[in-house]
A and B are shown apart, each in its own frame.
Chain A
């Protein structure tokens, strides 16, 4: 894993035991842990100073949420990819974090190999999806599609039929490889479709923010 050595990571979590454990796993696997942070403020500051490839983000921080920290990190370091590590009971937060720019989500109980695989994929710009995240993202697109047309200004660009199909299969628990087999397309194409659903979600969120700023006269 020679390429892993080049990947820089920041771990954001307010629990020292967890932070150290994860940092050790990452270091053992050849990643460079360039910073750790235990708060939203520290996360923003250190991301600006170190510009890591990947940030591992906890959802509960003493001075705010992982959603705020994700936004802060993406603000000061747009090239950094944020991977949310979360418990299953925090689904709605995870969707908000993804809308704020996180590019994936992993449950905290995932094994060290799963974690390392996820960080590697995140560093390469791939979206790390679980079935639960796919269900949330799918629900978000369905919700905006169902909203009355008078609700004007579609915040979210629509998914193509193929993207919806891929997202549904991921939400049903199929791996990218299984999706590829079932649809008779390449593994790479599946990854691209999945990434596109997140990119449009970020885009929608940015459009929403801009509209909000305009309405509030903050532009």
Chain B
């Protein structure tokens, strides 16, 4: 229903955009190349790998981009330790995109494929953005469609599928010569196998050694979610800026979430940019989530995936950018070396640490922290 209304709204806005087109030009994304090493360490998991992004303009109207990304995963989260053995695997993602600018309209299409030994995903995305009101306003629309093939290690006969459609709507508005605000909305509709095949729910069983046993999770096979974000960036009297963002989320599984972000960006001379930021996230559990069920198959839908539980996390982050030029005559306009680091603390309200030695149902609530690091070189040409 919401998706249908959104489709009609998008069509109406598209008509409006066409009517508002004029002869001044929008701008293609900046030509650049980025080579990044990324690392996530926390909750028993170690995930790292490279990401390479290239963007090159073709003529005056087209810009081509390509991204190669790898996750090398080792270790095991608490979910895996409770029910299986630690493992190692690799996820590889390829993306290509094409942007086209015509007058004040910027259009783009991109294709992404991701593969693991037990999972494959494909996604096709379209976007359209339009500047108007003297370039004070940018309206953007987007649509994506994706397909997942879900397998399971050790079970060659297991193959499930899921489909996903995203509808995006964004509005960016210049408020003053020092302030810009953005409003974005996204509706996502999934259909198919939406479980994680490795996650299980636990239920009381007095006959078992631990007092409980595990069985397969069962999720609904449809999910529709809506997310709305409002953001603001403000340029301070010296060369620095502050920003804030608030996001509200809800879905048909009963998950309600809020995200708040604030940050401050400071410059030192023309070479250094330093950013400090904080992010606060909290969510309520899915309707069918429980840490411990009273019996096997107690309800039609069952989940004990901690991402479905009630929890919050807080992160503190810092980024340092050093900008330089190889030489005045070099074809590179500028280059930057960047280091981003975030420390995140997760606290769960109804997901218990079953690895702790405690009576069933009285285990301590789970918590963990993680460090997210990104080190990358950016070349602008």
Mutual binders A and B: no
Seen from chain A, the residues whose Cβ lies within 8 Å of a Cβ on chain B are none
Seen from chain B, the residues whose Cβ lies within 8 Å of a Cβ on chain A are none
